[in-house]
Structure 1
């Protein structure tokens, strides 16, 4: 089904999307699987796995009344969502190795995807989140009061590892030889951990509501240019000139919109690509390091370990479970 055809459909309630076992009918070349675990009233974990060979635009109606702490740990292709904000439609990119916080009572919008995605979301009712007594920054408080809250760009190695563990646990079943399924208490604890890591990543960050629509588009183009070649980053002056912004405004905008510095966004993207290539197991560590601009393998290993808390050579040995466990032990950095 084409994107145009999808847009013509009536908005689908999120409550239907997150029903455990949901699989949409999108025609040949598509796969869609939703796994949901309800931990208590007002708290669910939802895993969304889908592959769309052709672009799809799915109209949605958020009737969940929940705050969504969503992390995408696999993306091969493109995905984004868009919501009506006054007279214009605002677009928010979904990126691999990054998370978003979204909330909008009865909000309607479009979810766009082409390619493969694997995403884990902790959905929590605002009243339950308040009971957890976590430290919520003023900017997030303000954003949650909006009808169009969508704060993206949350990243850390520990957040990535926790998301991997949750996805791995939700794959377990009686037919899988992966040990005993995780208990509800373990899933609850990891859900609290993931939400707390989102809030930690937000410290000292501003609200994206302050970024104008024009500047948002300029910053999105600047990020696209920045990540065009992960072997060599453009200079800050070159990036600012091409985006039509001053250097201070560019750097400030990256912090506000992507929750990271310009170099931090670049470094995060190339480490994610490095991890993906190493997990495929067909290339040497030195080859991957060289392609990503590292002349010294030890410098690459240090950067990789700083991001994921594990040496890249361990991925070559096929120790994926060690990667997940070590990712929690080693604190990730932006």
Structure 2
């Protein structure tokens, strides 16, 4: 089962988990922060923006949504026996850390940095241009890509990330203001120094706080905004590829095409052609 969510919380929300279902949850967080409380000792694990996590659901006592303007995340649930059968005992033996986790040893939540390939797969799911059977096949392919990234990352990195000191309400508001300024300045964005001065933050605090809320840098966020707006322009058919690139402030058509493909997995021309076929 796959679930895509874009949710806003102005206060802490707690969801008590007690149905005893035995499955694994894979999560991929783009914005916001969730916290999981697990095990008899009620150990807490933060899942901030820019992370992906694997959870043994039967051991999760409670999910907590940390108050922020918006939480954007993708989650996939797979029955434990189905996943273990699919991976196979022989293959799991080649990945001892993952094998131990899946068989119930150690912490119930494995939190890892969101890789670039995983972020790309999530964005392709979020903005899938296909319909019908083609959409179903594309979604299944991207979900498999995400499982591959999680398996690889789980074996090659350590356990849960250290808990970050959360931003206070005033700093969260400032960071959201920075994001809003970027959303309104796609063609001529301000510099990091200008943003820091405008919102009364040091550059180091701005960079750290922005990454905590959005899981990326201000430049990375600007690039995401530009690509999303370009996608919308190309979807409506009101702009040519060159015009869309100019609207979002990218003057080099080749660079625009390269960024678009990195973000959506297809170049702008192919994207337009797929859109035309769906009309």
Instruction: Give the whole-Å Cα distance in 2 for the aligned partners of 1:266 and 1:235.
Output: 11
Among 53, 76, 91, the residue aligned to 1:101: 53
Counterpart in the other structure of 2:95: 133
Among 187, 193, 214, the residue aligned to 2:148: 193
Counterpart in the other structure of 2:167: 213
Counterpart in the other structure of 1:47: 2
1:234–1:70: structure 2 CA closer, same or farther, 3 Å change rule?
A: same
How far off its partner does 1:277 sit? 3.4
Alignment RMSD: 5.5
Residue 107 of structure 1 aligns to a residue whose secondary structure is strand
**1:284-333 deviation per Cα after TM superposition (whole angstroms, max 9, x unaligned):** 21222122112332332232234344321111112699xxxxxxxxxxxx
- Greater relative CO (CA pairs within 8 A, separation 6+): 2
How far off its partner does 1:246 sit? 1.5
Counterpart in the other structure of 1:233: 189
Q: Given that residues 289 and 300 in structure 1 are in contact (C-alpha distance below 8 angstroms), is that contact kept between their aligned partners in structure 2?
A: yes
Instruction: Give the whole-Å Cα distance in 1 for the aligned partners of 2:193 and 2:233.
Output: 31
Question: Which has more helix, going by share of residues?
Answer: 2
How far off its partner does 1:118 sit? 9.5
Q: Given that residues 112 and 157 in structure 2 are in contact (C-alpha distance below 8 angstroms), is that contact kept between their aligned partners in structure 1?
A: no
Instruction: Give the whole-Å Cα distance in 2 for the aligned partners of 1:207 and 1:132.
Output: 24
Counterpart in the other structure of 2:217: 261
The TM-score normalised by the length of structure 1 is 0.49
1:229–1:165: structure 2 CA closer, same or farther, 3 Å change rule?
A: closer
Q: Given that residues 36 and 60 in structure 2 are in contact (C-alpha distance below 8 angstroms), is that contact kept between their aligned partners in structure 1?
A: no
Among 56, 60, 68, the residue aligned to 2:15: 60
1:1-334 matches, within 5 Å, as 46-48=1-3, 60-63=15-18, 68-71=25-28, 100-101=52-53, 105-109=60-64, 119-122=74-77, 133=95, 154=114, 156=116, 159-161=119-121, 164=124, 178=134, 189-190=144-145, 192-196=147-151, 207=161, 209-214=163-168, 217=172, 218-255=174-211, 258-318=214-274
How far off its partner does 1:70 sit? 3.0
1:155–1:179: structure 2 CA closer, same or farther, 3 Å change rule?
A: closer
Q: Given that residues 278 and 284 in structure 1 are in contact (C-alpha distance below 8 angstroms), is that contact kept between their aligned partners in structure 2?
A: yes
The TM-score normalised by the length of structure 2 is 0.56
Residue 244 of structure 1 aligns to a residue whose secondary structure is coil
1:177–1:47: structure 2 CA closer, same or farther, 3 Å change rule?
A: closer
1:213–1:251: structure 2 CA closer, same or farther, 3 Å change rule?
A: closer
How far off its partner does 1:107 sit? 0.9
Q: Given that residues 279 and 318 in structure 1 are in contact (C-alpha distance below 8 angstroms), is that contact kept between their aligned partners in structure 2?
A: no
* Residue ranges of structure 2 left out of the alignment (5+ in a row): 38-45, 99-105
Instruction: Give the whole-Å Cα distance in 2 for the aligned partners of 1:146 and 1:180.
Output: 31
Instruction: Give the whole-Å Cα distance in 2 for the aligned partners of 1:248 and 1:275.
Output: 32
Instruction: Give the whole-Å Cα distance in 2 for the aligned partners of 1:285 and 1:167.
Output: 18
How far off its partner does 1:162 sit? 6.8
Q: Given that residues 84 and 109 in structure 1 are in contact (C-alpha distance below 8 angstroms), is that contact kept between their aligned partners in structure 2?
A: yes
Q: Given that residues 134 and 196 in structure 1 are in contact (C-alpha distance below 8 angstroms), is that contact kept between their aligned partners in structure 2?
A: no
1:286–1:246: structure 2 CA closer, same or farther, 3 Å change rule?
A: same
* Residue ranges of structure 1 left out of the alignment (5+ in a row): 1-45, 74-78, 86-90, 137-143, 322-334
